[in-house]
Amino acid sequence: MDPQPDTTESQKPPRGVSLGQDAWRRLRKSWTATTALWLLVALGVVAVLAPLLPLQPPRRVETDRAFQPPTLAAPDQPLFPAGASPSERDAALAEGFGRLDPASRLLLRARTALFGTWSLPSLCGADRLGRDLLARLIWGGRISLTVGLVAALVSLVIGVTYGAVSAYAGGWADNLMMRLVDILYSVPFIFVVIFLITILNAEGIREVLEREYGINRMVIFFFLVGAIYWLTMARVVRGQVLSLRHEPFVEAARALGAGPARILFRHIVPNLWSVVIVYLTLTIPRVMLFEAFLSFLGLGVEPPDVSWGLLANEGLQAITPIRIYWWLVAYPGLALGVTLLALNFLGDGLRDALDPRMKNR
């Protein structure tokens, strides 16, 4: 593409920086990417520490304050009645927070020790059943972010393995595997996934899966979503491996007696990380969008669990010509929008930062 060879760059004495350090330095120079990164780190911390924060219980129904607009006034009900016995306390917490994993229970206990029964006012208003929207947003963020991360990792593992094996095998196997990818590209996956979800949710099948294999809906969800986003990853990785597989270091490994699997996963795949990281940051928003999309349609995360897509749906359903509950539409949309925007900016920034042609600039 570039008509002039890069002579000025090669004449500079090379400075001893690794690709990672160099990329980090360049990433920090782009303020959009840095802001996005810190924002995402903050979001992640808030999501992980959600049980520790003094939030109102996300599942507690208080019908007398249904559709209450955002307010700074302290909530009417404390976390649990003062002077409650430990068993009453646990019952109140279980009702408000649902069944929690041990780590979250521990954090919740730390929270009651730290803040007592005090909780934040309903800064984002309340929904149709009087549940606190701020708490639901943060607890929903836990699910939305987990789905995004886990499903993107699933797609990453499938895509990298498939692409690397295909390129390394070469010949007819490569041809066949890539033809399969071509076929899958022309399948409208979202429709197929929705179709699969309906079938896996059918009475009978669902129970069998849960009882016999311990697979619940979330796990199925992770795998289905991950399984549709690996195609591009596989292609990208294949291209990279094709260019790497005749490099001298691969020949050297083979001369030392390393087997194909070892060469592939210990020597070649570690060289792909820059491509993989960039692609991962661009896949996470797509996966999150897809989760929101499915939850919005009522096929993803099920109540009483919450996710941002589900909240957006509830908000849209509450729109009536008589009264506009703007906070129910605006805040879930804002949460989703800001996260996705930050991920997109970070992905773009990383792509520029990890571009080897930009090294030492």
Measured between alpha carbons, how far is 211 from 61 in angstroms, rounded to an integer?
31
Q: Which is nearer to another protein, 51 or 140 (CB)?
A: 140
Give least dist CB 165 to another protein, A: 21
CB 350 within 8 A of CB 281: yes
Task: Indicate the residue among 188 and 270 with the shorter CB distance to another protein.
Answer: 188
Q: Which is nearer to another protein, 343 or 353 (CB)?
A: 343
Distance CA(45)–CA(130), nearest Å, equals 27
* Beta carbon nearer to another protein, 82 or 183: 183
What 3-state class would DSSP assign to 107?
Answer: helix
Instruction: Report, in Å, the least distance between residue 226 CB and another protein.
Output: 18
- Nearer to another protein among residue 31 and residue 185 (C-beta): 185
- Shortest Å, Cβ 3 to another protein: 9
Given a contact cutoff of 8 angstroms between Cβ atoms, the answer to whether 164 and 241 are in contact is yes
For residues 332 and 225, give the distance between their C-alpha atoms in angstroms, rounded to a whole number. 22
How far apart are CB 13 and another protein at their closest, in Å? 30
Number of H helices, E strands in the chain: 16, 0
Q: Indicate the residue among 252 and 324 with the shorter CB distance to another protein.
A: 324
Taking the complex as a whole, how short is the minimal distance between the CB of residue 204 and another protein, in angstroms?
Answer: 4
Q: Are 311 and 332 in contact (CB under 8 A)?
A: yes
Distance between first and last Cα of the chain: 19
**Minimum separation from the CB atom of position 234 to another protein (A):** 16
DSSP assigned state of 302: P
Q: At 132, is the secondary structure helix, strand, or coil?
A: strand
CB 60 within 8 A of CB 138: no
Q: Are 144 and 151 in contact (CB under 8 A)?
A: no
Nearest to another protein of 343, 354 (CB atom): 343
Task: Please check whether residue 55 is in contact with residue 132, taking contact to mean a CB–CB distance below 8 angstroms.
Answer: yes
List residues near another protein by CB under 8 A: 179, 182-183, 185-188, 190-192, 194-199, 201-205, 285, 289, 292-293, 296-299, 309, 312-313, 315-316, 319, 321, 324, 326, 329-330, 332-333, 336-337, 340-341, 343-345
Q: How far is the CB of 178 from another protein (least distance, A)?
A: 12
Crossing angle for the helix pair 31-48 and 19-29, to the nearest 10 degrees: 100
